Structure formats: structure tokens, C-alpha cells
Amino acid sequence: MTNRADMTLTSSGYYVSQEAPIATDDPVPTPSSPPPDVLRCAYMELVVTDLAASRQFYVDVLGLYVTEEDDETIYLRSTEEFIHHNLVLRKGPIAAVAAFSYRVRTPEDLDLAVAFYTELGCDVRRSPSGFVKGIGDSVRVTDPLGFPYEFFHQTDHVERMSWRYDLHSPGELVRLDHFNQVTPDVPRAVKHMQDLGFRVTEDIQDEEGTVYAAWMRRKPTVHDTAMTGGDGPRMHHVCFATHEKHNILAICDKLGALRRSDAIERGPGRHGVSNAFYLYLRDPDGHRVEVYTQDYYTGDPDNPVVTWDVHDNQRRDWWGNPVVPSWYTDASLVLDLDGNPQPVVARTDSSEMAVTIGADGFSYTRPGDEEPMPEWKQGEYKLGHQL
């Protein structure tokens, strides 16, 4: 699939190459219609089972701003946002994701979205008045990978709260940064997202070319969404950015003080992939929320694509800390356009957890070391024995 000889090994331990280091033998057809011009990930619509509990988590603990709310739905935004919302919490019977929503450059891009997905035989629906408050003409589709995607341009503008320091908290969430999706066949998903105009910035592979995850962007950051290999379609996480690392530490301290440490699933830590400082939380329904800061600019056309070896124990945590098994196994259901959960298809390629935790797993800190990592540092391996 990918020849390591075509990549350059960096002094940091990862490889670099140019665009499209991933190929698929089972592609989604490429439509003849051009894709819509996607600006960025804009908001996620989450179905939650206890609206009051979710409000307490996202507003009282995490400090997102309420743009609008009623008994059924809460519209939330981050500090720097000027569009109506970045997160919709809608009360429903099953915790799931109703929409991964992207903003497109012009109203005419919605016509392109309709043509693009109609040609692929997808369920495509258009609402001239929008599917949610604050958003105008919108197109929703069940994409060829089974995910509920939305595209819109028109939206109500609201005030940026950046200057309202009197309202800011020490853990201020300033932007929606990205989505993360779980899909059984990562190369197939990557090829389809490239057809939609996304570019790969980083991936995780083994020497045989199995691809475990890939990160893709429209805006010039590491990603707008990532494809994580696993049983899917499911939603792995939605991520908000803070300005600084200390904002993430403040969230941890606050959760501790509130006796809500059980909301912390993984981290804080430094990612290898993306170089960002991170924290993973679980909301009252188990939806995973990442808080993230300080990835890097990727906007040049020849931005190098970064490839990590799946056995590099610094790929997911730069300090070599173990990844908890739940982070690999748990994810949220996604809905079709009628609100029914999409069936989950099992991954058949080897799983990242199995190759790094299982009894035959082997991870390294320095490639080529004769001795394996000391027993006390075999974090993921050791966690595997606790399963």
C-alpha cells in the first residue's frame, strides 16, 4: 500500500511524504459532479437522553455559551464563534449523532452537494429553511460511509465573546476544532473524503501498509475530521480548542473539585499525531469530547503528510503514556436521516488496540532497540493484561 522507501524518516521518528500516501482497493466511485467547497467543520448535532444533565456538563462545567434554548433543544457556541452554534443538544430516546455539519463557501455549493451525493446514490434531503434554528438552506445526506453529513452556508450571526473577559473561565473553549469518525475501512474512507476535497495531513500505518487512522483537513489546521479504524459508522469524538495548555489543566482541576473526575477518560497529555496538547472527556451519555490546543498550520499545497508507525509508543501520546482500552472500543451511534441508528459494521483489518496491546503486541520508544521497553513502561501492553 505505502512503500516506506518513498517516505523520509525525520529526526522526530515519524515519516513524511506528499499527498495521498493511502490507496484503497475498494473505492467509493468518484462522482463526475465537482464537490462542494467546504470551509470547515461547523457544528455537531448530538441527541442526548437527559437534556438537563447535558446542559450542566456543557454549560456549567465546560462553559459553552447558550445562543438559544427551549425544552427540547439547546444551541451552544464557543468563545470565538460568530455563527449561530457549534453544538446542538437535542433531547431524544437514544444517545447518538444526528449530524456532522460543515459550512460551505457559497449558497451555490449546496447545489453541488446535492449533485455530488445524488450521483453516489445516497439519501439526500434539502431544507430551504434549515433543519435546525439559526441555519438556513441546508443539505443533509447519509454519505457512502454511512455518516449523517450536513452542508450549509446561510447562518445567523451572533456576537463573538472573545472580548468578554468578564465571562471567561480558566478552561475557556474558544473554537470547534474537529470531528473524529470511526469507520471499518480507513483507506476507503480517505479516498472518499479526498473526492470531497479533503487533504490528508497525518496517518498511522504499519510496515505492511495497514492503515489504522488518518487525519484530514479543509481549514489549514491538522484536521476538520479524522477517520479512526474500528466498528462503524460511529462517532469517536467532537473536539473544542482552547488557547493554551493551562486551560486544559484548569478543566481537570475543576472536574476534580466538582468530584466529576469520572468524566475524564484519557489525558491530559501531548499527542504525537498533530502535536496537540489534549484531554478526552465523556459527557453524561458517554459521548466523547476532546479538548485540544496548539496543533500546527497546514495550509501550503506541499504541506508534508506525516506517517506514524503503529508500533511507535509515542504516536498517540508523545510521553508514551498508555491509551485506555475504552478509548479504542467505545464510540457513539450515528443516525440515518429518519433518526434510526445506523447498523454498525465490524472492522476486518487488524485493530490498533490488538497490535499494540495484545499478547503479540510490541511497541518501541527507539526503533531498533535490541531490548523491549522495560516492563514497567510497557503501558498499553500492561493495560492489555488488565482487560
Residues that bind Fe ion (CB under 5 A): 180, 239, 290
Please, what is the minimum distance in Å from the beta carbon of residue 295 to Fe ion? 9
Taking the least distance from each CB to Fe ion, the nearer of 150 and 290 is: 290
> Is the preceding peptide bond at 233 cis, omega within 30 degrees of 0?
yes
Contact 82, 176 (CB under 8 A): no
In which region does residue 67 sit, left (phi positive, over 0), alpha (psi from -120 to 50) or beta (all else)?
alpha
Closest distance between Fe ion and the C-beta of residue 204, in Å?
Answer: 13
On the CB side of 144, how many CA atoms lie within 13 Å of its CA?
A: 21
347 closest CA partner among 206, 233, 226, 216: 233
- Quick one: which of 360, 358, 352, 349 has its CA closest to 26? 349
- By C-beta, is 290 or 309 nearer to Fe ion? 290
225 versus 342: smaller Cβ distance to Fe ion: 225
- Which whole-number Å values give the CA distances from 376 to 230, 322, 370, 379, in the listed order? 28, 11, 17, 7
Residue 241's identity, in one-letter code, is A
**How far is residue 105's CA from residue 119's CA, in Å, rounded to a whole number?**
21
> Given the complex with Fe ion, which of 285 and 295 has the nearer CB atom?
295
Pick between residue 290 and residue 312 the one whose CB is nearest to Fe ion: 290
CB 377 → Fe ion: shortest distance, Å? 25
Question: Whose CA is closest to 277, among 244, 311, 310?
Answer: 244
Of residues 195 and 290, the one with the C-beta less far from Fe ion: 290
Residue among 143 and 290 whose Cβ is closer to Fe ion: 290
Compute the chain's Rg from CA coordinates: 20
Q: Is the peptide bond before 144 cis (omega within 30 degrees of 0)?
A: no
CB of 125 to Fe ion, least distance (A): 28
Shortest separation between residue 331's beta carbon and Fe ion, angstroms: 12
DSSP states of 204-233 as a string? EE-TT--EEEEEEESSSSS-SEEEEESSBS
Smallest separation, CB 239 to Fe ion (Å): 5
CB 184 to Fe ion: min, Å: 19
**Least distance from Fe ion to the Cβ atom of residue 127, Å:** 29
Distance, C-alpha 74 to centroid of its chain: 21
Residue 196 or 239: the one with the smaller Cβ distance to Fe ion is: 239
Shortest Å distance, C-beta 237 to Fe ion:
6
* 112 vs 226, beta carbon nearer Fe ion: 226
Burial grade of 325 (CB within 10 A; 0-12, 13-18, 19 or more): middle
